[in-house]
Structure 1
Amino acid sequence: MATVFPFAGRVLDETPMTLGEGPTFDPSTGTAWWFNILGRELHELHLASGRKAVHALPFMGSALAVISDSKQLIASDDGLFLRDTATGGLTLHAALENDLPGNRSNDGRMHPSGAFWIGTMGRKAEIGAGSIYHVAKGVVTKLIGDISIPNSICFSPDGASGYYVDTKVNRLMRVPLDAQTGLPAGKAELFIDSTDGKGGVDGSVCDAEGHIWNARWGAGAVDRYDANGNHIARYEVPGRQTTCPAFIGADASRLLVTSARENLDEDAIAANPQHGMTFELGVEVKGRFEPLYRL
């Protein structure tokens, strides 16, 4: 039975997100980034100074990979774009499901090899409409199809295992990978069956010990699983619809968690205005920084 810890953290950013998602951290600039998907916004927070900026986007961005101090890769409903951090200029890097205009991107994360995994889904979470793709140097390869809400994409520290979930099913899968490329080296197998729990398995990160930290949508919590899939801890979060964690700080020892207000009525928000805010969990973690995307 997992130990439950009450929230001991803080609100990192009070801006309410309709659908906060895709957080990541750039240690070279000390900056956290995340998206308000439905609001078509990219949020930027410099941790040391507290300086905050919100960048309007012409599309629904959902996941970001750092390329360098001056360049990022953004996954969106319009494709994969290179973004200039100084000007905000966007350049198409690769097409993504141009033949499926009813889809958008969702969860994504960097593999240690420098490749990027990104999931897609229907705009109304239609059953089986989405897929998960591997992106390396602009080459997009479909890996997994027939997914409704792709989430929890993360990788073991050695790059030999990948994880993902369809949140509509709540069965976290593990797939063996070629550590040099981030491509599957075998069939996916069930790692954690979470079909009997409250809420949905949403975004995840894997720490330096191989532990998975998962944001539990609808439960207001971040769950911690060990490398064998045992549920060892639950950390409560004030925002009920927790969406995705990211390691932050100079030594990746802190955890940022995004949340959402999507589908919450006025009464629910009035009862708890912290729904949709972005939090720091308030526990020390043995995190690791995301690899750079390689052009």
Structure 2
Amino acid sequence: MDVVLSTEARLGEGPVWDARSSTLRWVDIERGEVHRFDPASGTDTFFEVGERVGTVAVRAAGGLVLATQTGLYTCLDDGGRRTRLHEVDTDPPGGRFNDGKADAWGRFWAGTMLDRTDGGAALYRLDPDHSLHTMATGVSVSNGLGWSPDGATMYYTDTRTGGVDAFDHDPSTGDLANRRRLVDVDRGWPDGMTVDSDGCLWVALWDGWGVRRYAPDGRLLSTFEVPAQRVTSCAFAGTTLYLTTARIGVRDFGDQPLAGSLFALDAGVTGVPAGEWAG
């Protein structure tokens, strides 16, 4: 496990490999920052959104799509003017967008979360025509997403349920059916995730000090230790798996001075390529 960026992100999240620029996009939710890490030079730059930002994805037409505290936005370039596509409310109020990502068919998925109340959040799908669809309700902390290499299965984490669910997924429409439990996590809480080219799931462990790899049938294959308590998400760039972490809520940094940093490991397998929103 290598430290590729020693930083003190309050809530690092949403890593995604931007193949256009050969950089890793990621966010610091609490600071409202969208980052771009260049592994070739080791430099990290960011722009401020002005509110909490849950995740980011690349837009096929250029620029980015963002899921923030108040809604879904496009951004033409780093730090450029944002255009709001949809405002999304939580019931009761007080929530925000959390994790999300673009799929391989041009759609952008993102879910909301509530700080104190269970069941008022939801998972949404933003189609290329800018229409917004509610795909799951009764959610508390919408989190990791991933798709099997053939697109027939979508994986989804609502963190407070303590596990990862699977849906039947129709790539041609984005429709979901037959939700079922795939993995029960017994170490920390399941957070962000990604899928490799073998169809295995990599699940970040909030309060679990690591990341786990699960087979498509839910069997635990391996655990990789991370020197940070709150591992939030992960993303592939070739065979490199990048991991974001958080400092928020950590009381003692004596055994984890690198909490909030960006880590990487050689996974020995490539990931399913990141999608781009086609809107």
SS in 1 for 2:266: coil
Q: By how many angstroms is 1:116 displaced?
A: 1.3
SS in 2 for 1:49: coil
Is 1:261 paired with 2:247?
yes
2:225 equivalent in structure 1: 236
2:272 equivalent in structure 1: 288
User: Matched residues in 1 for 2:142 and 2:268: separation?
Assistant: 28
1:31 equivalent in structure 2: 23
User: Matched residues in 2 for 1:47 and 1:88: separation?
Assistant: 23
Q: 1:41 aligns with which of 26, 33, 46?
A: 33
User: Matched residues in 2 for 1:81 and 1:70: separation?
Assistant: 13
Q: By how many angstroms is 1:163 displaced?
A: 1.0
User: Matched residues in 2 for 1:83 and 1:56: separation?
Assistant: 12
SS in 2 for 1:168: helix
Report the count of equivalent residues: 278
When the two structures are superposed, what TM-score results if normalisation uses the length of structure 1? Answer: 0.90
Task: Specify whether residues 125 and 294 from structure 1 end up closer, same or farther in structure 2 by C-alpha distance, changes over 3 A only.
Answer: farther
User: Matched residues in 1 for 2:38 and 2:191: separation?
Assistant: 25
1:209 equivalent in structure 2: 198
Task: Specify whether residues 88 and 270 from structure 1 end up closer, same or farther in structure 2 by C-alpha distance, changes over 3 A only.
Answer: farther
User: Matched residues in 2 for 1:178 and 1:68: separation?
Assistant: 21
Q: 1:181 aligns with which of 156, 163, 173?
A: 173
Is 1:273 paired with 2:273?
no
Matches for 1:210-229 after TM superposition, within 5 Å: 210-229=199-218
SS in 2 for 1:38: coil
Supply the AA of the counterpart residue of 1:285: V
Q: By how many angstroms is 1:205 displaced?
A: 0.3
CA deviation map 1:198-218 (0-9, x unaligned): 210111001111100000111
CA deviation map 1:94-148 (0-9, x unaligned): 22227764110011122221111111011x2421121111110211111111111
When the two structures are superposed, what TM-score results if normalisation uses the length of structure 2? Answer: 0.94
CA deviation map 1:66-97 (0-9, x unaligned): 11484110011111111122552211122222
1:128 equivalent in structure 2: 119
The answer to whether the 8 A contact 1:151-1:167 is kept is yes
User: Matched residues in 1 for 2:61 and 2:53: separation?
Assistant: 19
Q: Percent identity?
A: 29
